[in-house]
Structure 1
Amino acid sequence: MNRRELLKAVLAIPFLPGVMTGALGSPWAAGSKFHARVRPGQAGWPSPAQWDELNQAVGGRLLKPQLPFTASKAACDEALKHIKNPFYIGDQPGLTQTSGWADAWLSQPSAYAVAAESAADVAAAVRFASKHRLRLVVKGGGHSYQGTSDAPDSLLIWTRHMNAIHLHDAFVGQGCEGTRAPQPAVSLQSGAMWIDAYDAVTTRAGRYVQGGGCCTVGVAGLIQSGGFGSFSKRFGMASAGLIEAEIVTAEGEVRIANACTNPDLFWGIKGGGGGSLGVVTRVTLRTHALPEFFGAVFGDIKAASDAAYRALIAKAISFYQSDLFNPHWGEQMRFHGDNVLHIAMVFQGLSQQQAQAIWQPFLDWVHASNDYSFVKPMQILAVPAQHFWDAAYFRQHVPGVMIPDDRDGAPRQHVLWAGDQGEVGWFIHSFKSAWLPASLLRKDGQAQLVDAIFACTRQWDVEFHFNKGLAGAPSEAIAAARDIATNPQVLDAFALAIMAGNGAPAYPGMPGADPDLPKARDEAAAVGRAMDALLKVAPNAGAYLSESDYFQRDWQQAFWGTNYPRLAAVKRKYDPEGLFFVHHGVGSERWSADGFTRLV
């Protein structure tokens, strides 16, 4: 579906049978309760007595978030000490994992926050926001590059303390008794992080749950975005593993959503984007038998000339297509502008010896030429899969690969991959992504792809995340992903291409924070030119909504493709007044950029 066809479909939605008057009320454009949200100091902003009523309703868990840099000298010093510790940042209701985006947004605390500990707390906050016409924000992990987990002058529902985890031997969704077979599963509250999930499911229970690659990402946010992990080429997208969700919808009702109960809402949660349809408070995900081994391949290869680099790119693409384009392999190759190929791949279901045998012909080819040198030697390592997120195992056997939460009393399983620390607190200059179709890997298409990659690197580095496209995955993983809201392009994509530029943390009020905006704009322009060069071979490529351009044009088409009209209908049914708003979220085109004014 092209842009014009998509627009026609979206405009037709209000006239579809059953949509003009949804089950939960009138559509956005007619009979709406309000046309603008209120800010502090404006008429209608809740009085202190009304805020106190909310505080009582949530058991005294109403907070006034602050930036620690402006709270006190002690708080500021503590924040600066831990500014690259994502666990510390996640524990601050006034901070987000990204400090901002040049010419787009800055991390700013909400006016008030409910530190929710139950679905009842969330429901009370939702009803309060609806009654008083407040801008509502939801934050679990707080990893949103787009700034969707914070907003000034808003009420924040903060789910950090909702982190309970329960494993099931035989789970059946509510209302599905007798129609669905029981299956092994894990239920996680929405404030849990993926390191918590992997510790419970893999390290302790010896099974696998498809989640995110970054350990500190929130469970619920990833599921709602679609969700990729290092091993998605084998186990599929995280949202496709959702069996059931508990969600608080716009009228403050706690609902169950699964294939049998509220199935339309269930479908929308799976890839429709966080913060648009309601507040997810619990997810239940299927678990899988664990392979014997997980492993990784690392190394940097430098070419002596542009011609040699182009040949190296061609060899890497050909080798990927012939030997790595299958469910065993995931993660990245990064093509640098200084003629360096960075390899950071992972594998599952292979031994270290098997992985070495697969890579040996490629390494022999590199060694055979004087045009190439190893800036970082190639390493091929495998570990028992049950230890892949085992902090104690890595401390003993591979120190430095994982970085712990360095605060006194921190849970010992709270670690992150060292390679992910660069994103902690970063200030984004530019970020773009594009799904690349598997047709580019055909023998008659590889030359064009190689030319596009080389042209791209003359402007900016590009990463190919092979695990973030489902081409090459097992048929069952692809079939499950057909029933989620993410752009169907993901089914035929062999990789997600990512380009990004960023600077040091630049939170408002942070001492020494001085983002170089002219540099940021220059980098953004270079990233744009690089993506344009790559998209010459994939001109209609969609983008992954969680890793995309804040200024993405035609975002409805890019993120959801032909699924957007159906998503918009779900939004109208369960949130007819548009209570839930996030940047480039479903239905956000009906609001001003800050989410405070309804567009007529």
Structure 2
Amino acid sequence: MKLWMMVFSLLMHSFCYGASAYCLPNQACWPSQKQWDALNRQVNGHLLQGYSPLSPCIKNSNNIACNDMLNKLKNPYFIESQPGATQSNGWVDAWQSAVSPYVVAVENAQEIASAVNFARQHRIKLVVKGTGHDYLGRSNAANSLLIWTHNMRKVTLHDHFIPQGCPTTQTPKSAVTIAAGTRWIEAYKEVTTNNGRYVQGGGCATVGAAGGFIQGGGFGSFSKKFGTGAAGVLEAEIITADGRIRTANACQNQDLFWALKGGGGGTFGIVSKITLLTHELPSSFGKVKGTITAKSDTAYQKLIRYFIHFYRDHLHNEHWGEQVSFTPGNKMTFSLVFAGLSKSEVDTLWQPFLDWLSKKPEQYQVRWDSATRPAKHYWDFDFLIANAPEAIVVNKANNASPSEFWWASNQTEVSMYINYYLSMYLPAKLFAQENADHLAQTLFKASRFTEVVLHFNKGLSGASSEATARQKDTAMNPEVLDAVALVIISGGQQNTYANIAGHKPDLIKAKKEIHQANKAMELFHALSPNSGTYPNEADYFIKNWQSALWGSNYPKLLQIKHKYDPHNVFSCHHCVGSE
């Protein structure tokens, strides 16, 4: 009770001293052309007029230019190169992608500071876009000034990094500094492929490495071994609402430093560069892929139950990550990764599971495979082209940089109009011997409505001791430490646009699917009523979002928000202080 009385007090402060309505282009407060020209000089000519790449389609979608553009928008790198485009096109009844009338294509921290000062002085809504990966639509807004970090791409390795202002007697760490617009594919190439180290980033290689991913927490495929991206932050350069360029680390601006490690992107300032811990690289990474189709509901229930117990006893540790899905067609799909194990160890580990299935050929149809890859080559373009070309999609755009690719498994996320995206942490107690059967039955019942996916790398129960220790010093919801997995129920319509004739999302179909998805998620909420979730992959309409997204850390985060941004210069949907 005391916790939320503190929140209430801080919210009253926000209402009394918080932001007034933003200035709009049709109002007298909107800057004159002379003032915009002055800003352009301050940012070295990098002020752009906002535009929509979909402009060839607005009046008539049945033309060559429109069709060409719609094909280009199937490429995430092309989307990132357009300040007026986002990776997701919208969310039913929530948001749809909008174009900022003005864009600052920033190239350094001082240009960011100039843009922040201008927006604050003229009370213009600010949005920040690096790559445009944000399910909740926070990297775009109508009538806003967009700070576009796309051109700030740089990766610098350090063998002996000590944060600024810390004692020189402190033990130095191996680290990497990443500029604001850098994508994970670029970070992995430099850190892993070229230098044989590991940095904890995202599974989707086209996601930005220094923005909302890290600041929202940042899970990757191997987070149970190496932790979250947020837990690996050693230092950040950040421009706060007052236009100051600050350094935040364990020795200066410590409260801001903590907030940046999971307190949410677009909230406390704009990070211009960030330094992350790097790790010793395992000799290999591997993957287990498979599908098991049960030939009856009864057989499917037995399969789910057997797997939940098998996972708890054999896979609930730092070696395993990624996902297993459960579908209405009585099919389980396995897409799991592992680190620190050989292929023979993995095959031996899974043999009892496969033996159980082989004794019931009349009940189960099984496809199964496992493989390893030298960890140094996990993101190596040349190696993948030679050994696993089906796993990647090569960027063939005219302006593509050499060796750019994205995972084929991420293609369905490109230009997606979201129908629903629901998630919840599953605490360890649900996997205990006395509760596992109930969890299995819930998974079966939920899969009668829609596909349900368990992401085991997005919970840190079973994680390495090092990852667990680092995580405790982040702003993420502490529940993540007890979460075995994040359950995700999601769906959408690809290559659809709310305002393009012939390409609009089917809202009638969407509403039916949303109803089914909500029914499925209700079963998990009944199983664990107070479970929180991961901010970067949360429902747009989530209730009690403060506690669900940050738990007991929210009051402290709100205090830090008021300290560094008392007038809500930075504001976004379900971000700290956005009440």
Which TM bucket (shorter chain)? Answer: over 0.9
Q: Is residue 299 from structure 1 mapped to residue 290 from structure 2 by the alignment?
A: yes
Q: Is residue 262 from structure 1 mapped to residue 253 from structure 2 by the alignment?
A: yes
Amino acid at match of 2:549: F
Indicate the percent of aligned positions where both proteins have the same amino acid.
47
Q: Where does residue 213 of structure 1 map in the other structure?
A: 203
Q: Where does residue 73 of structure 2 map in the other structure?
A: 83
For 1:30-429, what aligned pairs fall within 5 Å after superposition? Answer: 30=16, 35-71=20-56, 76-178=66-168, 180-220=170-210, 221-374=212-365, 377-429=367-419
| Inter-partner Cα distance in structure 1 for 2:216 and 2:29 | 34
Q: Where does residue 11 of structure 1 map in the other structure?
A: 8
SS in 2 for 1:219: coil
Contact 1:452 1:536 in 2 (8 A): no
CA RMSD of aligned residues (A): 1.5
Deviations 1:323-349 (Å, cap 9, x if unpaired)? 111111000010111100000000011
| Inter-partner Cα distance in structure 1 for 2:224 and 2:117 | 41
Amino acid at match of 1:177: P
Q: Which of 572, 575, 578 is the matching residue for 1:585?
A: 575
For 1:562-577, what aligned pairs fall within 5 Å after superposition? Answer: 562-577=552-567
Q: Is residue 484 from structure 1 mapped to residue 474 from structure 2 by the alignment?
A: yes
Alpha-carbon distance, 1:67 to partner: 1.4
Alpha-carbon distance, 1:177 to partner: 2.6
SS in 1 for 2:389: coil
Deviations 1:8-44 (Å, cap 9, x if unpaired)? 22023479xxxxxxxxxxx644456x62111111111
Amino acid at match of 1:358: L
Deviations 1:287-333 (Å, cap 9, x if unpaired)? 00000010101111100000000001011111111111111100001
| Inter-partner Cα distance in structure 2 for 1:319 and 1:362 | 8
Contact 1:305 1:371 in 2 (8 A): no
| Inter-partner Cα distance in structure 1 for 2:353 and 2:455 | 19
| Inter-partner Cα distance in structure 1 for 2:78 and 2:119 | 28
What TM-score does the superposition give when structure 2 sets the normalisation length? 0.96
Q: Which of 430, 452, 470 is the matching residue for 2:420?
A: 430
Amino acid at match of 1:570: I
| Inter-partner Cα distance in structure 1 for 2:170 and 2:495 | 48
Q: Where does residue 60 of structure 2 map in the other structure?
A: none
Contact 1:327 1:473 in 2 (8 A): yes
SS in 2 for 1:432: strand
Which sits farther off after the overlay, 468-477 or 338-347? 468-477
| Inter-partner Cα distance in structure 1 for 2:558 and 2:300 | 46
Distance 1:304 1:5, change over 3 A: farther
SS in 1 for 2:488: strand
Deviations 1:145-189 (Å, cap 9, x if unpaired)? 000000011000000110111000000111113363110000000
Amino acid at match of 1:328: H
Contact 2:414 2:494 in 1 (8 A): no
SS in 1 for 2:128: strand
SS in 2 for 1:536: helix
| Inter-partner Cα distance in structure 2 for 1:585 and 1:305 | 45
Q: Where does residue 446 of structure 1 map in the other structure?
A: 436
Distance 1:14 1:496, change over 3 A: closer
| Inter-partner Cα distance in structure 2 for 1:411 and 1:296 | 28
Which consecutive residues of structure 2, in runs of 5 or more, have no partner in the other structure?
58-62
| Inter-partner Cα distance in structure 1 for 2:219 and 2:137 | 20
Number of aligned positions between the proteins: 573
Distance 1:14 1:332, change over 3 A: closer
Deviations 1:445-499 (Å, cap 9, x if unpaired)? 1111111111111111110000000000112211111111111000000000000
Alpha-carbon distance, 1:370 to partner: 2.5
| Inter-partner Cα distance in structure 2 for 1:374 and 1:280 | 50
Amino acid at match of 1:136: L
Alpha-carbon distance, 1:558 to partner: 0.5
| Inter-partner Cα distance in structure 2 for 1:155 and 1:506 | 26
